[in-house]
Amino acid sequence: GEDVEQSLFLSVREGDSSVINCTYTDSSSTYLYWYKQEPGAGLQLLTYIFSNMDMKQDQRLTVLLNKKDKHLSLRIADTQTGDSAIYFCAEYRLTGGGNKLTFGTGTQLKVEL
C-alpha cells in the first residue's frame, strides 16, 4: 500500500532505551528520515540513512534499516524526559515531477521518571 506505518504510542522509563519502529512501502526509496516534533513546534530533523546502509549511529541515536523487509527503526539510548515528543519516519519518493517525503503516522514517545 501507500502508507508508512508506525505504532502510535511508546512509553519508557528515563534512562532506558527506546526503540521506535517504522515500515515503509517504496523499495526504491533512496533516503529514509527520522524527524522529531515537540508540542506546538515544527519538525526537527534527527537523522537519516541512505538506502545502501544498514546502520547509522549518531551519539545516542542508532538507525537500523532492513531493506528486504522495508523496516526502519530508531533506537534512543539513555532516554531522557526531553526526548518526549512525536517521532516521524519518512521515506523520500520520486514523483512524476519531482520528489516528496511521505510520512508515517508518528509515534508519541512518553518518558516517565
Per CB under 8 A, the list member of 39, 42, 68, 69 interacting with another protein is 42
With 0-12 / 13-18 / 19 or more C-beta atoms within 10 angstroms meaning exposed / middle / buried, residue 109 is buried
On whether the CB atoms of residues 36 and 44 are closer than 8 A, the answer is yes
Residue 87 in the binding site for another protein (CB under 8 A): no
Residue 82 in the binding site for another protein (CB under 8 A): no
Residue 10 or 90: which CB sits closer to another protein? 90
Per CB under 8 A, the list member of 45, 54, 57, 77 interacting with another protein is 45
Per CB under 8 A, the list member of 2, 59, 95, 113 interacting with another protein is 95
On whether the CB atoms of residues 5 and 105 are closer than 8 A, the answer is yes
Q: How far is the CB of 94 from another protein (least distance, A)?
A: 8
Between CA 48 and CA 30, with CA 2 as vertex, the angle to 5 degrees is: 30
